[in-house]
Amino acid sequence: MSRPIVIKNASLYGDTPATLLIEDGVITTVAQDAASIATPDDAVVIEAEGLVALPGLVDLHTHLREPGREDAETIETGSRAAARGGWTAVHAMANTNPVADTAGVVEQVYSRGQEIGLVDVFPVGAVTVGLKGEHLSEMGAMANSKARVRLFSDDGVCVYDPVIMRRALEYVKAFDGAVVQHAQDLRLTEGSQMHEGVVSAELGLAGWPAVAEESIVARDALLAEHVGSRVHVQHLSTAGSVEIIRWAKARGINVTAEATPHHLLLTDESARTYDPLFKVNPPLRTQSDVDALRAAVADGTIDIIATDHAPHASEDKDCEWAAASFGMLGLETALGVIQKVLVDTGAATWRDVARLMSETPARIGMVDDRHGRPLAAGEPANVTLVDPNATWTVDAAQLASRARNTPYGGIELPGRAVATFLRGVPTHLDTQLEGAFA
């Protein structure tokens, strides 16, 4: 049984300072006056003045690569990276080897996450067998497994066949699940390397048109409306996609959407370096797209922030652009990027960050009985402490991930998670807090 923990004078959601008492994995007391709490004799006391307390972050879009590509990431290294980034739960994508398209594979991933114990790992099941887009996977068996899968995605590829997509949307209704779509028209993006526009033309790289994303977003919103089901759209990247989501919500369609930190900060201008660290799917877009995404996050059109943490082995990135894999790291830098582009600009508050990165993703993933809970007495002690005044320079070699493919190397970011607690157990402590637990 872990020792009681007193977090003194933390700023809850960036608002009123308060003190939390954590006992046996539960927040038992929240008080504005620290002196009113009877501190147990064996308690660990954290002086948290100046720190922001948030519910533990929940990532709806993480690639952990295990089983099959442990040279890029493992559930253990990915969990450690997540804990250092302030996350207490991650949803692991299905594009592993073997693919997570059976109850056996998702139970393996779930059990391994529980064994490691740094974050809760919730497997996302594949929509189709082998991600091939031809036959539905064993969705019912995965939903009824001990992993209790509720999200299904072929992420990395699009569920392209509209008949298959319709059947998947119909099927998940039986257990109130959701189909999570990687919106990409495969024909329109064949051979594409970056966003189609002025920069791609100047660089001579095959362009990836915005309509390739937008057409699938529109199709799937209409399919979800037609069958009365739930669809979640991953990594929106274009202003047009934002308008389609806004239209769909106004129409009453049960659709949610996410944006990634990198699509909220970086643009296709980064490709001028020909550095494959900036090669990602969907591609980095224009500044006007970035501005539209930020506005959509601020007004609630985009529901959540998700990392799309995509680690790759060095040989898959340390090569010429055309041969390089798509994807970039995100778990350890997400909070800093979001503070930089949303909080420090006044577009969002820390309470908004709690909604975007904890409460709403937990609800979409149907784990809101355990995660994304209020910082209140009687709730699970999944807590992240953030130092909003810290600044740090990203060093790929110092990241916990096994991979090194961060696009932020050498960039100074504000804010950092200094402590992460999963059910009252510290899974990450900054050096300034380690002494309290010695």
Give me the active site residues, please. 308
DSSP for residue 180? E
232 is in an annotated binding site: no
Q: How far is CA 381 from the centre of its chain?
A: 20
Q: How far apart are CA 252 and CA 171, in angstroms?
A: 21
Taking the CA atoms of residue 263, residue 265, residue 266 and residue 269 in that order, the dihedral angle to the nearest 10 degrees is 120
How many CB atoms within 10 Å of residue 249? 17
61 is in an annotated binding site: yes
235 is in an annotated binding site: yes
33 is in an annotated binding site: no
95 is in an annotated binding site: yes
68 is in an annotated binding site: no
Distance of CA 272 to CAs 203, 204, 205, 310, Å? 7, 11, 10, 22
Q: How far apart are CA 296 and CA 341, in angstroms?
A: 13
246 is in an annotated binding site: no
How many CB atoms within 10 Å of residue 85? 29
281 is in an annotated binding site: yes
Q: How far apart are CA 426 and CA 274, in angstroms?
A: 40
What residues contact residue 163 under an 8 Å CB cut-off, 6+ apart?
none
- 395: closest CA among 408, 378, 377? 408
65 is in an annotated binding site: yes
What residues contact residue 178 under an 8 Å CB cut-off, 6+ apart?
150, 151, 152, 172, 229, 230, 231, 232, 256, 364
Distance of CA 108 to CAs 54, 111, 112, 175, 358, Å? 30, 5, 6, 21, 25
Binding residues for Zn(2+): 61, 63, 155, 182, 235, 308
Binding residues for substrate: 63-65, 95, 281, 312, 326-327
Binding residues: 61, 63-65, 95, 155, 182, 235, 281, 308, 312, 326-327
